[in-house]
């Protein structure tokens, strides 16, 4: 401003040296006065001459002279200095009483000479007759009617005046090219004094122009103005001179500008005052006439008003004042750029000494608002003295900023300092400050037009701006979707401080907005509780908008009281269609509060999860991220939700019906499609690592809980799964899954438990697993007041179980096993019911004795220390690959002797029965031993007899002893060949025949069965006719034999030596042999065996005979 004032002071100092505009005005006025005086003087002379002529002819009435002698016209022209003069007619009247006489000249044309050419339809004068008769004709008034004037401005700026419409007269130059030449202001004053110097005009008081036609040709602006029926007067009095012109100017294009101009000359004061009033003019036309107002040329709007100026006799401007009123238009610095307004008015005065304007009143109305102000405008001039810039200092006493809705925002106190530069056109705002109460708004910056658009740099600020002023002040075209969204959501609040930075150039716009706020009330989503007590900051950088909440909580409604400090809102690109907001809500409060908050539409997370907002207690720290388009008509699916929460001190009795779930800390994650809760929990004091996943939506599946748990006897009991005492020891880690069904339906569970680290035992089965052994256990069922195990799968060394458990009242009541595979010997379904005794049933499956009898120690007791009652009906019992017991039916019970009895079929063809003793010894008996042996494929030629077999317990190969009493051997080719080899022809024939065969009173021995091989040792069969001992193997799988023994014919006699005391062993050999016996061996295929007999051995006693015998294998167990 100091530089501006120095410039203004320098410009003011040049004021007296260079005033081209004022010189043009004074020269024009001087010309008019001088030429008018000269013209009037000529007309007075003409009138006086004509008056003297007609006075002699006048007889007291009006006299009309229709023609004048040419000689008279020539004589008159010489007297007035004109080349020629023509007068159509002359009329003269004598005044009555004090009235002056009158002379009227019609159709007058004066041409040539030093003055201008002139055509006048009518001239009327008034004068005193007496003076005329004395030769001193001095008119008191002159009226010119119908004069036509052409004012011509060439493109060079030269200005000429012509009063000859016929074009014969020479135009009168007013200004030279470029505005130079012509009279100056002093010449104008000298011309005005002509009325005093010319004796003929000494009594002239008034000159009137009536019905004048004035045409103004502006070659520089390319415009033409016409004034029809214009009027003017020039009036003189004592020491004063007044003039006035009234006309309506028309440009031929519909524009009509009424104009009234006056001039007042005070001779004593040496001051000339000019004033003009006009309506509906163009500001540029006004600026073209007044250099100080040349900035008006930038305005395109209809303007009406008045201007007044005072000049000294030296031509200096003493004062300028005016009032301008404009209608709707625009400030248009270039044809492409404009600043529109609806109306404007100003009352001003100009002080030439300080070169500044005083604005007494400035009113401006635009679409954006209105202002009323007063102040000063300093004129900044360039080196040529032309106005270069205007610097304003305004006091704003009413600024009404139009809002986008409702009443305008009014500020009643403000100040502005601006600078308007003409070339290049620039608007600079040094400062603009508005204040109303505690609210303050400020603005600074600049703007200038460019071909590509406005070049704008603005900085604005605001303090304590309430919401009802903020939103109306937000321009509707600035991020309109973001603005609409905030306008709908923001209900109250105060912007404590804000700063706006706007940069625009070449069509590119950069926006920066920073603000702080407090006491905010906003509704983030239409149907959720409002955010109240909001305090924080915000930022808008181009299209990126962000809000940060330092304090605030949810208001009344479902979910009230949740602290949301730390929440954020981000619109990454507010220019996009549609703009998408990301709202990050950070909240803390009680779990029911948070759940109630997110149970509002459109989220409704607990309701969609089938839970109530009271499903758990505790505290929650929540971060909820919502993504939603900034548009109306949002649906639930339009809002993308991602909720993450930390829950502490959690306790719930509804998540797992019938169970109490507690946790120190849980993590909650939720989206539109799923709800997840994870962490370390205690379910009825059982520690678990759990993760709940709940699909959301009308067609969503059930919720699931997955996790891991540490398995100990205590945790299994805590889950309501009862196990016999001592059946589980150690510690393992398993995984589980729960499926939460509809309300009232117990949740389904599944458990997958690796058994390493756990020791298991099932006493009724005689099975135990060490903690070091591997294995797996899978359980599935339902939890709740009455938990179930609907699917049990156990795999461990020596045991595989598949089935279900029956639990009642936290007690294990039974088991339904579709498969029990135990120790390789049992693979069968099993049913077990707790009790005393425990009841066990095996129906189907198989028992495999190929590895020996199983251990039976577990049969000594049942659950709870009671006994066991077993009913068994396996599909088969495998003895060897070729020997199977079918149709086995039996039962046993601990605490009785024998333990149990059973019946069966040997390979489905021979019945047998048996019983089981304490300790696991099995006894088998067949009343048709021969049939049993045939069915087993061991000896196809036996018939009858009672077969008894005793199987020893203890595992390993199946072994025992057998006996067969009262049997016969029929049609046995092998035996017959043995007897033939021993030269016992009679017995050989009997053995081969199918008759009575050979009878054996007793047969017994030891055996072992392993891998399909039957090993016989110490076996003997004796009868009256024959004694046989045999040892060896029979491979039932391959069907091959390797047997040896002794044949003792006539055993009734021969065997007597065996039984002799002391020497029986020496003479008779082993039991079943006699004094005389033949060694034999059978090898090869069972169907075609190879037989060898040593006939010499029959001649040797028993002890010596053993020398020739091959060693026989020992049966297991002896």
Q: What is the 3-state secondary structure (H, E, C) of 1016-1069?
A: EEEEEEECCCEEEEEEEEEECCCCEEEEEEEEEECHHHHCCHHHCCCCHHHHHC
pLDDT exceeds cutoff 50 at 345: yes
Q: Where are the chain's structural domains?
A: 22-201, 465-653, 957-1118
Return the DSSP state at 225.
Answer: E
- Give the residue, 629 or 117, on which the prediction is more confident: 629
Section 1026-1042 average pLDDT? 89
Q: Region 847-874: what's the mean pLDDT?
A: 70
pLDDT for res 1117: 46
Most confident of 157-171, 186-200, 325-339, 1068-1082: 325-339
One-letter-per-residue 3-state SS of 804-836: EEEEECCEEEEEEEEEEEECCCEEEEEEEECCC
DSSP reduced 3-state for 905: strand
Give the whole-angstrom CA distance, residue 532 versus residue 537.
15
pLDDT score at 1105: 55
Q: Is the per-residue pLDDT at 231 higher than 50?
A: yes
Lowest mean pLDDT among 111-115, 524-528, 788-792, 1049-1053: 111-115
pLDDT of residue 153: 75
Q: How far apart are CA 915 and CA 912, in angstroms?
A: 11
Mean pLDDT of 289-315: 89
pLDDT band (50, 70, 90) for residue 80: low
Phi, psi of 729, rounded to the nearest 5 degrees? -140, 160
* Paired strand residues for 143: 124, 208
Indicate the length of the chain as a whole number.
1118
Q: What is the pLDDT of residue 887?
A: 93
**Residue of 566, 479, 558 lying closest to 525 (CA atoms):** 558
Q: Which residue has the higher pLDDT, 153 or 866?
A: 153
Top pLDDT among 19 and 363 is at 363
What pLDDT band is residue 27 in, cutting at 50, 70 and 90? very low
**pLDDT per position as a tens digit, 170-226:** 565 654 554 433 334 454 455 556 565 556 667 778 888 888 888 888 776 677 889
pLDDT of residue 370: 92
Q: Which pLDDT band, with edges at 50, 70 and 90, does 569 fall under?
A: confident
Distance between CA atoms of 308 and 324, rounded to whole angstroms? 12
pLDDT surpasses 70 at 73? no
The pLDDT score that the predictor gives to residue 817 is 92
Q: What confidence category does residue 346 fall into, taking pLDDT thresholds of 50, 70 and 90?
A: very high
What pLDDT, on a 0 to 100 scale, did the predictor assign at position 793? 92
Q: Which of 44-58, 70-84, 86-100, 924-938 has the lowest mean pLDDT?
A: 44-58
pLDDT tens string 57-66: 444 445 555 6
Q: Is the pLDDT of residue 1102 over 70?
A: no
Q: What does the pLDDT average to over 713-719?
A: 81
Q: Please indicate whether residue 671 or residue 168 has the higher confidence score (pLDDT).
A: 671
Query: What is the rounded CA–CA span in Å between residue 488 and residue 1071?
Result: 116
pLDDT surpassing 60 at residue 81: no
Task: Give the distance from CA 607 to its chain's centroid.
Answer: 23
Give the three-state DSSP class for 462: strand
Specify the DSSP element, H or E, that contains 365.
strand 356-366
Is 997:1023 a contact under the CB 8 Å cutoff? no
The predicted pLDDT at position 94 comes to: 62
pLDDT of residue 21: 36
Instruction: Please report the pLDDT score of residue 35 as a whole number.
Output: 46
Q: What pLDDT score does 672 carry?
A: 81
Q: What residues does 804 pair with on adjacent strands? A: 816
Worst-scoring range by mean pLDDT, 532-541, 927-936, 1054-1063? 1054-1063
Confidence of residue 24 (pLDDT cuts 50, 70, 90): very low
pLDDT at 221: 65
**Average of per-residue pLDDT values in the chain:** 80
By the 10 Å C-beta count (0-12 exposed, 13-18 middle, 19+ buried), 140 is classed as middle
pLDDT at 32 > cutoff 50:
no
Query: How confident is the model at residue 11, as a pLDDT?
Result: 38
Percent of the chain with pLDDT over 90: 24
End-to-end CA distance of the chain: 131
pLDDT at 132 > cutoff 70: no
CA distances from 525 to 554, 635, 670 (A): 12, 11, 18
What pLDDT band is residue 1051 in, cutting at 50, 70 and 90? confident
483 against 679, higher pLDDT: 679
Give the per-residue pLDDT at 414. Answer: 93
Spatial separation of the C-alpha atoms in residues 185 and 270, rounded to whole Å: 12
Q: Is the pLDDT of residue 14 over 50?
A: no
Alpha carbons within 13 angstroms on the beta-carbon side of residue 532 total 11
- Structure tokens, 1003: 């047969």
Question: Which alpha helices (DSSP H) does 153-251 contain, by range?
Answer: 185-192, 194-197
Q: How high is the pLDDT of residue 33?
A: 44
- Answer yes or no: is pLDDT of 398 > 60: yes
pLDDT of residue 25: 37
pLDDT over threshold 50, residue 735: yes
Per-residue pLDDT of 509-528, as tens digits, reads: 888 889 888 998 888 777 77
754 versus 957: which is more confidently predicted? 754
- Whether the pLDDT of residue 17 is over 60: the answer is no
Per-residue pLDDT at 180? 38
Whether residue 1108 is predicted with pLDDT greater than 70 in this model: the reply is no
Q: How confident is the model at residue 863 (pLDDT cuts 50, 70, 90)?
A: very low
CA–CA–CA angle 1007, 1010, 1013 (5° rounding):
75
Choose between 984 and 513: higher pLDDT.
513
**Is the Cα dihedral 623, 628, 630, 632 positive or negative?**
negative
Range from 495-504, 769-778, 971-980 carrying the lowest mean pLDDT = 971-980
Residue 902 has pLDDT above 90, yes or no: yes
Higher-pLDDT residue of 689 and 73 is 689
Per-residue pLDDT, 600: 77
Range 1000-1013 average pLDDT: 89
Average pLDDT over residues 754-761: 90
Mean pLDDT of 484-502: 84
Q: Lowest-confidence range among 496-505, 711-720, 1101-1110?
A: 1101-1110
Share of the chain above pLDDT 70, in %: 79
* Lowest-confidence segment of 296-310, 765-779, 1061-1075 by average pLDDT: 1061-1075
Q: What is the mean pLDDT of residues 1069-1098?
A: 80
User: Which pLDDT band holds residue 917 (cuts at 50, 70, 90)?
Assistant: confident
Tokens found for residue 485: 């969204």
């Amino acid at each position: 401003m100091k530089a501006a004032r120095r410039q203004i002071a320098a410009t003011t100092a040049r004021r007296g040296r260079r005033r081209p505009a004022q010189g043009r005005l004074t020269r024009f006025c001087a010309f008019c006065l001088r030429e008018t005086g000269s013209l009037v003087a000529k007309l007075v002379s003409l009138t006086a001459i004509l008056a003297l002529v007609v006075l002699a002819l006048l007889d007291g009435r009006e006299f009309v002279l229709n023609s004048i002698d040419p000689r008279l016209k020539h004589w008159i022209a010489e007297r007035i200095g004109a080349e020629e003069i023509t007068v159509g007619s002359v009329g003269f009247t004598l005044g009555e009483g004090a009235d002056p006489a009158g002379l009227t000249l019609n159709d007058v044309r004066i041409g040539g000479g030093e003055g201008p050419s002139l055509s006048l339809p009518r001239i009327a004068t008034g004068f005193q007759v007496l003076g005329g008769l004395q030769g001193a004709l001095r008119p008191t008034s002159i009226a010119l009617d119908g004069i036509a004037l052409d004012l011509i401005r060439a493109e060079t700026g030269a200005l000429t005046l012509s009063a000859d419409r016929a074009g014969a007269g020479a135009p009168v130059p007013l200004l030279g090219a470029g505005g130079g030449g012509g009279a100056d202001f002093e010449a104008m004053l000298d011309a005005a004094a002509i009325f005093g110097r010319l004796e003929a005009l000494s009594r002239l008081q008034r000159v009137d122009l009536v019905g004048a036609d004035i045409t103004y040709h502006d070659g520089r602006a390319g415009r033409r103005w016409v004034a029809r029926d214009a009027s003017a007067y020039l009036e003189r009095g004592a020491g004063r001179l007044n003039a006035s012109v009234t006309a309506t100017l028309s440009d031929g294009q519909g524009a009509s500008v009424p104009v009234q101009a006056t001039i007042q000359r005070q001779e004593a004061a040496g001051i000339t005052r000019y004033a003009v009033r006009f309506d509906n003019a163009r500001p540029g036309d006004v600026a073209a006439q007044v250099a100080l107002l040349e900035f008006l040329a930038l305005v395109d709007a209809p303007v009406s008003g008045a201007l007044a100026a005072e000049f000294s006799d030296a031509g200096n401007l003493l004062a300028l004042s005016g009032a301008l009123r404009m209608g709707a238009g625009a400030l248009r610095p270039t044809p492409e750029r404009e600043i529109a307004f609806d109306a404007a008015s100003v009352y001003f005065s100009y002080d030439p000494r300080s070169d500044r304007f005083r604005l007494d009143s400035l009113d401006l109305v635009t679409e954006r608002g209105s202002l009323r102000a007063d102040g000063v405008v300093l004129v900044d001039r360039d080196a040529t003295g032309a106005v270069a810039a205007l610097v304003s200092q305004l006091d704003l006493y009413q600024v009404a900023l139009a809002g986008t809705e409702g009443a305008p925002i009014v500020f009643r106190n403000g100040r502005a300092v601006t600078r308007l530069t003409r070339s290049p056109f620039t608007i600079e705002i040094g400062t603009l400050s508005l204040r109303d109460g505690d609210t303050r708004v400020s603005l600074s910056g600049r703007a200038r037009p460019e071909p590509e658009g406005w070049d704008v740099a603005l900085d604005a600020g605001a303090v304590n701006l309430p919401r009802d002023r903020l939103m109306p002040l937000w321009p509707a075209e600035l991020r309109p979707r973001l603005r609409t969204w905030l306008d709908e959501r923001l209900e109250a609040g105060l912007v404590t401080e804000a700063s706006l930075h706007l940069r625009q150039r070449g069509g590119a716009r950069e926006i920066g907005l920073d603000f702080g706020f407090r006491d905010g009330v906003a509704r983030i989503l239409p149907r959720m509780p409002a955010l109240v007590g909001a305090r924080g900051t915000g930022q808008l950088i181009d299209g990126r908008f962000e809000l940060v909440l330092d304090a605030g909580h949810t208001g009344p409604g479902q979910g009230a009281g949740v602290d949301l400090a730390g929440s954020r809102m981000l619109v990454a690109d507010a220019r996009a269609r549609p703009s998408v907001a990301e709202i990050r809500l950070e909240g803390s409060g009680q779990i029911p509060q948070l759940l109630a908050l997110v149970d509002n539409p459109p989220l409704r997370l607990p309701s969609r999860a089938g839970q109530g907002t009271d499903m758990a207690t505790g505290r929650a720290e929540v971060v909820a991220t919502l993504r939603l388009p900034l548009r109306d008509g949002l649906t639930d699916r339009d809002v993308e939700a991602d909720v993450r929460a930390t829950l502490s001190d959690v306790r719930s009795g509804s998540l797992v019906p019938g169970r109490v779930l507690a946790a120190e800390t849980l993590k909650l994650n939720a989206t539109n499609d799923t709800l997840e809760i994870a962490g370390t929990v205690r379910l009825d004091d059982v520690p678990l690592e759990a993760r709940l996943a709940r699909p959301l939506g009308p067609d969503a599946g059930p919720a699931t809980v997955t996790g891991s748990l540490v398995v100990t006897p205590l945790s299994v009991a805590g889950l309501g799964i009862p196990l016999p005492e001592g059946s589980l020891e150690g510690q393992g880690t398993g995984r589980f899954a729960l499926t939460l069904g509809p309300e009232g339906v117990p949740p389904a569970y599944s458990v997958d438990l690796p058994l390493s680290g756990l020791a298991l035992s099932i006493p009724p089965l005689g099975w135990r697993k060490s903690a070091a052994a591997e294995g797996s256990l899978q359980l599935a069922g339902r939890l709740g007041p009455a938990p179930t195990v609907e699917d049990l799968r156990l795999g461990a060394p020596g045991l595989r179980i598949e089935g279900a458990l029956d639990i009642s009242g936290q007690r294990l009541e039974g088991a339904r096993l579709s498969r029990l595979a135990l120790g390789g010997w049992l693979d069968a379904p099993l049913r077990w019911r707790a009790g005393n005794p425990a009841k066990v049933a095996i129906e189907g499956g198989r028992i495999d004795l190929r590895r020996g009898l199983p251990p039976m120690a577990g049969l000594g007791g049942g659950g709870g220390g009671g006994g066991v009652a077993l009913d068994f009906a396996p599909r088969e019992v495998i003895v060897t690959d070729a020997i199977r017991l079918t149709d086995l039916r039996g039962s046993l019970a601990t605490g009785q002797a024998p333990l149990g009895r059973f019946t069966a079929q040997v390979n489905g063809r021979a019945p047998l029965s048996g019983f089981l003793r304490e300790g696991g010894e099995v006894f088998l008996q067949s009343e048709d031993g021969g049939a049993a042996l045939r069915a087993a494929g061991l000896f196809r030629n036996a018939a009858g007899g009672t077969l008894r077999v005793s199987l020893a317990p203890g595992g390993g190969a199946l072994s025992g002893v057998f006996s067969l009493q009262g049997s016969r051997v029929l049609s046995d080719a092998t035996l017959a060949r043995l007897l033939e080899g021993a030269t016992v022809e009679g017995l050989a024939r009997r053995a081969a025949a199918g008759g009575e065969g050979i009878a054996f009173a007793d047969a017994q021995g030891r055996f072992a069965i392993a891998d399909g091989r039957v090993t016989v040792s110490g076996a003997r069969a004796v009868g009256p006719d024959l004694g046989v001992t045999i040892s060896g193997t029979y491979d039932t799988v391959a069907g091959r034999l390797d047997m040896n023994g002794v044949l003792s014919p006539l055993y009734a006699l021969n065997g007597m030596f065996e039984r002799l005391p002391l020497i029986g062993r020496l003479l008779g050999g082993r039991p079943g042999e006699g004094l005389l016996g033949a060694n034999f061996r059978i090898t090869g295929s069972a169907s075609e065996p190879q037989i060898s007999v040593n006939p010499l051995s029959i001649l040797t006693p028993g002890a010596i005979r053993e020398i020739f015998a091959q060693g026989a294998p020992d049966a297991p167990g002896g």
